[in-house]
C-alpha cells in the first residue's frame, strides 16, 4: 500500500505529457456532487483489506499481491503515457471536511479509475471466496452493494467521470480473471497412471521416484 501511494502521488505531480481533460457524459450530468459520497469513497481502503484478512496461505497471498501489483502497473502506465484529469470543482463546494483529501487525491490520474478497478477486483475475489466458504446471501449482497457504492462515490464526489469508471471496471475485471486462471492452473489435479499400459510407458528411473 505504501509503495502504491508513493508511485501514485509521484506520477500525479510529475506529468511528462500534456494532460487531457476527460469529457463529461449524460451520466455525469445526471449525478450531482454529493458530500456524503466521500464516506463511501474513502471506505475503499478498508474494503481492499478484507481479502488480505481472509487469505490463509503464503502462496495465495503472493498471488493476490502480484495481481494487485499488475493492476497498479497497468494503471500507472496509462497515467504516465496519457495523463488525464476531470473538471475541477471549487473547494467551497467540497467543504472543509473533505477538502484536505481532495488536495492530496486530486482530480488527476483519472482514467482508468484505480478506485473502481480495485473495488471490482476486491468484489470479485470476495465473491468467489464467499461462494466457496461462506454461502451466505446477505454477505454476498453486502459485498456487491459495497462495491457499487464505491463506484458510485467516485462519480458523486466528482473525482472521476463515467468513462474513468468504465475503464477502471474493465481493468479490475481483467485482473480478477487473470488471478482466477492462474489459481485454476495451479490447482489442476495430478493424474497418476493406473493401468498396466500406462505404467509401461514410465521409465525405470521415474518408477523409483
Residues 6+ apart with CB under 8 A from 176: 67, 120, 121, 124, 125
Q: Identify the CA nearest to 111 among candidates 88, 86, 87.
A: 86
Task: Report whether pLDDT(95) > 90.
Answer: no
SS3 173: helix
Q: How far apart are CA 118 and CA 156, in angstroms?
A: 18
Query: pLDDT for 128-168, tens place per residue?
Result: 888 888 777 899 999 999 999 999 999 999 999 999 999 99
Query: pLDDT for 19-36, tens place per residue?
Result: 999 999 999 999 998 888
Q: How many CB atoms lie within 10 A of CB 179?
A: 22
DSSP classification of residue 160: S
Residue with cell 495481481: 67
Q: How confident is the model at residue 5 (pLDDT cuts 50, 70, 90)?
A: confident
pLDDT at 4: 84
Q: Percent of the chain having pLDDT more than 90?
A: 47
Q: Identify the CA nearest to 173 among candidates 70, 47, 78.
A: 70
Task: Report whether pLDDT(9) > 90.
Answer: no
CB 93 within 8 A of CB 32: no
Q: How far apart are CA 120 and CA 125, in angstroms?
A: 9
Q: How confident is the model at residue 193 (pLDDT cuts 50, 70, 90)?
A: very low
SS3 84: strand
Paired with 85 in beta bridges are 21, 108
Task: Report whether pLDDT(208) > 90.
Answer: no
Task: Report whether pLDDT(8) > 70.
Answer: yes
Phi, psi for 108 (deg, rounded to 5): -80, -175
Q: How far apart are CA 86 and CA 83, in angstroms?
A: 11
pTM: 0.82
Amino acid at each position: 500500500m505504501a509503495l502504491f501511494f508513493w508511485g501514485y502521488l509521484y506520477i500525479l505531480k510529475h506529468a511528462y505529457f500534456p494532460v487531457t481533460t476527460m469529457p463529461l457524459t449524460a451520466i455525469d450530468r445526471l449525478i450531482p456532487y454529493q458530500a456524503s459520497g466521500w464516506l463511501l469513497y474513502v471506505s475503499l481502503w478498508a474494503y481492499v483489506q478484507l481479502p488480505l484478512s481472509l487469505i490463509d496461505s503464503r502462496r495465495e497471498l503472493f498471488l493476490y499481491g502480484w495481481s494487485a501489483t499488475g493492476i497498479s502497473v497497468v494503471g500507472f502506465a496509462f497515467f504516465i503515457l496519457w495523463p488525464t484529469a476531470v473538471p475541477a470543482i471549487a473547494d467551497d463546494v467540497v467543504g472543509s471536511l473533505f477538502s484536505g483529501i481532495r488536495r492530496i487525491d486530486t482530480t488527476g490520474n483519472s482514467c482508468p479509475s484505480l478506485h473502481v478497478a480495485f473495488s471490482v477486483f476486491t468484489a470479485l475475489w470476495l465473491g468467489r471466496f464467499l461462494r466457496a466458504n461462506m454461502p451466505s446471501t446477505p454477505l454476498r449482497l453486502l459485498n456487491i452493494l459495497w462495491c457499487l457504492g464505491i463506484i458510485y462515490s467516485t462519480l458523486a464526489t466528482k473525482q472521476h467521470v463515467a468513462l474513468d469508471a468504465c475503464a477502471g471496471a474493465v481493468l479490475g475485471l481483467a485482473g480478477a480473471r487473470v488471478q482466477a486462471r492462474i489459481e485454476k492452473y495451479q490447482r489442476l489435479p495430478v493424474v497418476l497412471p493406473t493401468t498396466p499400459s500406462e505404467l509401461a510407458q514410465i521409465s525405470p528411473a521415474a518408477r523409483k521416484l
